[in-house]
Amino acid sequence: MTLLDNISLALGAIRGNLLRTILTFMIIAFGIMALVGILTAVDGIQASLSSNFATMGANSFDIRKKGTGIQVGRRGRRPRNYSSISFDEARNFKERFTYPASISISFSATSGATIKYQTEKTNPIIRITGADADYLKVASFDIEEGRNFSAQEVESNRNVVLIGSGIAEKLFNVSYKAIDKIVSINNRPYQVVGVLASKGSSSIFSSDNSAIVPLVNARNTYANNQTTYVITVALSDAYQQNIATAEATGLMRNIRKLRYDEEDDFDVSTSDKISGILLDQSAYITSAATLIGIITLLGGAVGLMNIMLVSVTERTREIGISKALGATRNTILTQFLVEAIVICQIGGILGIVLGILAGNGVSLLLRGPFLIPWLWITLGIIICFIVGLVSGIYPALKASRVDPIESLRYE
């Protein structure tokens, strides 16, 4: 009997016990969906992170208060509270750092602002950043319409603003109409002098719904005693980053008046370092997804074995007739093994399709790319084959050992 004949017999047996088989399909499909879906989502998030941090520039690094960056995997330890980087310390660093580089000072003013123009307004989710005139250069922003604000506008506390392309589209429909218009940010008037070019949908931390105001203006409006400033350094030569970060660390320790035996109370982080931390943590998610999938598939394997055992009992007379007509033990063994594998593969294919849709749904929600995870598809098919093989061995052996004389008398 050929493999195609066995598959045809398996499909006929599946149709004969449709309800029980569908339940087994769903258990196996859920396990594969959990495995493929979560791993696909992780791949999409990783791709988005890599793309996002690549746009920040490989030649830049940030100096910020320790403990305000990405803190993961602390295993329940309470984080130490470090002192903020003050404006005077940030300005002192900018004046004294002599390495060839562009330096910007900024801080996060608020992440829940509303911007209005006449009858139109945004949702209260706009992130406002206070920054100096060098911020666009070091943060890899481009101007789509208008201009950057000048150093004089920063120092003179002018009410000017750069808005993201998403805000411009919401309030003015097209970017060029936003220039020189007066908008209201939390009920304070600001003149729009420029619109930031979109960084695209691959960015998790979207700049399209953010706005930048001059540093002095933002300090007067939003800053308090707890405000901490971020120093961003963009090097002229990316290959000198290690030397520059070491020099910046030494200078910042001097400014912060740290003794030689004291640890750094600030972080010097590059974009690839932050990306690396996040990507490393995705291994935990991958492990959790694998564990969930394996546990669910074990349940599916037990269910499949029970169904196959019931099927062997119900088809005892059929097995006896097959043996009477010349079917060997190997033929019966192969028939039931193929049936178990076919059931698993159908459930696995359904789970793979659902997993791809679920995983890419999460990825697209976080503005990641749409992926076809060939590795996880292949892994899912292999796992389903193994589950079907393991679950079908005992029922197939039991079927192959049925005595043909006794089975013909079975009612």
pLDDT tens by residue, 264-279: 889 888 755 555 555 5
User: Across residues 311-321, what is the average pLDDT?
Assistant: 74
pTM confidence score = 0.55
Reduced to 3 states (helix: H, G, I; strand: E, B; else coil), residue 263 is: coil
User: Higher confidence at residue 215 or residue 48?
Assistant: 215
- Same-domain status, 190 and 297: no
- Same-domain status, 309 and 387: yes
Tokens of 90: 């940030």
8-state DSSP, 239? G
Q: Provide the domain limits for residue 366.
A: 3-51+277-408
Angle between helices 329-365 and 3-16 (to 10 degrees): 70
User: Higher confidence at residue 67 or residue 266?
Assistant: 266
- Same-domain status, 40 and 157: no
Check if the beta carbon of residue 104 is closer than 8 Å to that of residue 138: yes
Q: Which of 232, 248, 265 is the last residue of a domain?
A: 232
- Same-domain status, 208 and 321: no
User: Which pLDDT score is estimated for 399?
Assistant: 78
User: Across residues 70-75, what is the average pLDDT?
Assistant: 48
- Same-domain status, 306 and 224: no
Contacts 24+ apart (CB under 8 A), 96-101: 96/251, 96/255, 97/233, 97/247, 97/248, 97/251, 99/233, 99/235, 99/240, 99/243, 99/244, 99/247, 99/248, 100/235, 100/236, 100/237, 101/233, 101/234, 101/235, 101/236, 101/244
Classify residue 253: in a domain, yes or no.
Answer: no
Check if the beta carbon of residue 17 is closer than 8 Å to that of residue 304: no
- Same-domain status, 228 and 282: no
* Residue 58: pLDDT over 80: no
Q: What is each CA distance from 80 to 62, 86, 260, 278, 357, in whole angstroms? A: 20, 18, 20, 21, 41
DSSP annotation string for 162-225: EE-HHHHHHHHSSGGGGTT-EEEETTEEEEEEEEEPP--TT-SS-STTEEEEEHHHHHHHH--T
Classify residue 270: in a domain, yes or no.
Answer: no
Q: How far apart are CA 250 and CA 182, in angstroms?
A: 44
* Residue 220: pLDDT over 80: yes
User: Which pLDDT score is estimated for 202?
Assistant: 44
Classify residue 349: in a domain, yes or no.
Answer: yes
Classify residue 82: in a domain, yes or no.
Answer: no
- Same-domain status, 291 and 182: no
Classify residue 181: in a domain, yes or no.
Answer: yes
Q: Which of 204, 232, 260 is the last residue of a domain?
A: 232
pLDDT one-digit tens code per residue, 326-348: 777 788 888 878 888 888 888 88
- Same-domain status, 192 and 120: yes
User: Which pLDDT score is estimated for 145?
Assistant: 92
pLDDT one-digit tens code per residue, 147-170: 999 888 888 889 999 999 999 999
Of 71-75, 161-165, 242-246, highest mean pLDDT: 161-165
* Residue 306: pLDDT over 90: no
Confidence of residue 317 (pLDDT cuts 50, 70, 90): confident
Confidence of residue 25 (pLDDT cuts 50, 70, 90): confident
Tokens of 290: 């694998």
User: Which pLDDT score is estimated for 319?
Assistant: 73
Classify residue 397: in a domain, yes or no.
Answer: yes
Tokens of 224: 């308090």
pLDDT one-digit tens code per residue, 366-382: 666 778 888 878 888 88
Contacts 24+ apart (CB under 8 A), 76-80: none
Of 164, 137, 268, 149, the C-alpha closest to 215 is 149
386 membership: H or E segment, kind and range: helix 374-400
User: Across residues 33-39, what is the average pLDDT?
Assistant: 81
User: Which pLDDT score is estimated for 184?
Assistant: 94
93: left (phi over 0), alpha (psi -120 to 50) or beta: alpha
- Same-domain status, 329 and 388: yes
Classify residue 192: in a domain, yes or no.
Answer: yes
User: Which pLDDT score is estimated for 204?
Assistant: 46
- Same-domain status, 120 and 225: yes
* Residue 402: pLDDT over 50: yes
User: Higher confidence at residue 38 or residue 356?
Assistant: 356
Instruction: Read off φ and ψ for residue 192, nearest 5 degrees.
Output: -80, 120
Number of domains present in the structure of the chain: 2
Classify residue 81: in a domain, yes or no.
Answer: no
- Same-domain status, 33 and 110: no
* Residue 203: pLDDT over 50: no
pLDDT above 90: percentage of residues in the chain: 24
* Residue 294: pLDDT over 80: no
Estimate the share of the chain in helix, then strand, then coil, as percent rounded to the nearest 5. Answer: 55, 15, 30
Tally of CB atoms within 10 A around 269 = 16
255: left (phi over 0), alpha (psi -120 to 50) or beta: alpha
- Same-domain status, 291 and 390: yes
Q: Which of 175, 200, 232 is the last residue of a domain?
A: 232
Q: How far apart are CA 296 and CA 30, in angstroms?
A: 7
User: Across residues 15-23, what is the average pLDDT?
Assistant: 72
pLDDT one-digit tens code per residue, 92-143: 999 999 888 889 999 999 988 999 999 999 998 899 999 999 999 888 788 9
User: Which pLDDT score is estimated for 318?
Assistant: 74
